[in-house]
């Protein structure tokens, strides 16, 4: 009678077959090379979007939300395959945060994801603000808003500073734009995604003026201001992308400036990543002028941003 299988610590098992003892190697099932290709290729849409999100500094809540949205869409498709109910959930969203916190960038990423998941047919992004929706006479606003929605079908309509639509009160044409948006959010609920964006405090006030609006946005994502370390990380990435580098003194000068400005400027007037981009672009122009005047054209000087190149006025 054959003996039981016994496991050894060296990754082998002893097996007795037909009276003969044999050693078999245990294959590590967690290794990717032993996973069928069909399984390895799954979730490519999520992996691609995660790779792009990895290039974004911070935004942990947003990254978690994107994964949850992907999981919900994917599992709904599996439920459909099994004949189970799979209701289409509204994907209209609200982005709350200060300027330069990545709201538009994330909207573009979501467009790409929704196309790959067959939620949207095109995934393009239509950016708009109050002037693009509000007309000059009765009926003009509704038509302008409908035209924008028509352009956004198959993609995302992104309205920045959305609270400005309610700033004129009941008689303002902005109310007509809101009413038109609400109607088409229902009528074309699964044909486009509407994202309203703006400062957190102002968006909360905007919603309080129109209580019925809040329930139409099941996905609300906060985009917090960047910390100084995160801003320095963003600066470093921008410099690498442009093939420049800070000297140690310039790096220290920028960090000290960011600490100062973060402690003294109102949060809703600080443009976060946009502020960093403006500083870098201005420093590159200053460096170019310095090198031209001094006729310094060697490689090290061409890539080095020094303290004298960093100025922080009018950026």
- pLDDT tops 70 at residue 35: no
* Entry pTM: 0.77
**CATH 3.40.50.300 given to domain 45-223:** yes
Query: What pLDDT shows up at residue 48?
Result: 86
- pLDDT tops 80 at residue 263: yes
Give 228-309's CATH code, choosing from 3.90.480.10, 1.10.8.60, 1.10.30.50, 3.40.50.300: 1.10.8.60
Query: What pLDDT shows up at residue 26?
Result: 41
Query: Which residue is it, tokens 């967690």?
Result: 30
With the CA atoms of 184, 189, 190 and 192 taken in that order, what torsion angle do they form, in degrees rounded to the nearest 10? 40
The pair of structure tokens assigned to 308 is 């004298």
Given a contact cutoff of 8 angstroms between Cβ atoms, the answer to whether 95 and 107 are in contact is yes
Query: What pLDDT shows up at residue 260?
Result: 92
Given a contact cutoff of 8 angstroms between Cβ atoms, the answer to whether 90 and 79 are in contact is no
Query: What pLDDT shows up at residue 24?
Result: 45
Planar angle of CA 243, 249, 255, nearest 5 degrees: 85
What are the extents of the domains in the chain?
A: 1-42, 45-223, 228-309
pLDDT tens-digit readout, 215-249: 888 888 899 999 999 999 999 999 999 999 999 99
Query: What pLDDT shows up at residue 267?
Result: 63
Residue 93 bridge partners (DSSP): 195, 219
Per DSSP, helices labelled H in 9-53 are 37-40, 44-53
- pLDDT tops 90 at residue 293: yes
- pLDDT tops 70 at residue 198: yes
Quick one: pLDDT band at residue 45, thresholds 50, 70, 90?
confident
Are the folds of 45-223 and 228-309 the same?
Answer: no
Report the percent of the chain where pLDDT is more than 70: 83
Three-class SS state of 7: strand
Backbone angles phi and psi of 54, in degrees to 5:
-60, -25
């Amino acid at each position: 009678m054959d003996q039981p299988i016994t496991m050894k610590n060296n990754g082998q098992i002893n097996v007795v077959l037909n009276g003969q003892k044999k050693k078999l190697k245990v294959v590590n099932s967690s290794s990717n090379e032993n996973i069928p290709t069909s399984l390895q290729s799954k979730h490519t849409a999520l992996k691609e979007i995660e790779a792009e999100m990895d290039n974004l500094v911070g935004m942990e809540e947003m990254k978690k939300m994107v994964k949850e949205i992907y999981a919900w869409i994917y599992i709904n498709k599996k439920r459909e395959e099994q004949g189970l109910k799979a209701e289409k959930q509204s994907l209209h969203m609200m982005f709350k945060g200060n300027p330069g916190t990545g709201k538009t960038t994330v909207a573009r990423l979501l467009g790409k994801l929704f196309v790959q998941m067959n939620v949207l047919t095109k995934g393009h992004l239509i950016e708009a603000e109050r002037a693009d929706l509000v007309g000059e006479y009765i009926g003009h606003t509704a038509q302008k808003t409908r035209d924008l929605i028509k352009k956004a079908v198959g993609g995302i309509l992104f309205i920045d500073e959305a609270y400005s639509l309610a700033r004129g009160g009941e008689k303002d044409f902005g109310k007509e734009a809101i009413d038109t948006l609400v109607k088409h959010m229902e009528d074309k609920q699964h044909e486009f995604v509407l994202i309203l964006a703006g400062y957190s405090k102002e968006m909360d006030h905007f919603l309080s003026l129109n209580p019925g609006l809040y329930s139409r946005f099941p996905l609300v994502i906060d985009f917090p201001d960047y910390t100084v370390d995160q801003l320095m990380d963003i600066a470093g990435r921008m410099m690498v992308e442009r093939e420049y580098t800070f000297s140690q003194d310039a790096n220290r000068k920028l960090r000290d400036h960011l600490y100062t400005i973060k402690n003294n400027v109102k949060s809703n007037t600080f443009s976060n990543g946009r502020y960093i981009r403006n500083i870098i672009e201005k420093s590159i122009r200053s460096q170019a002028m310095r090198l031209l005047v001094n006729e310094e054209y060697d490689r090290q000087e061409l890539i080095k941003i020094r303290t004298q190149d960093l100025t922080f006025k009018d950026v």
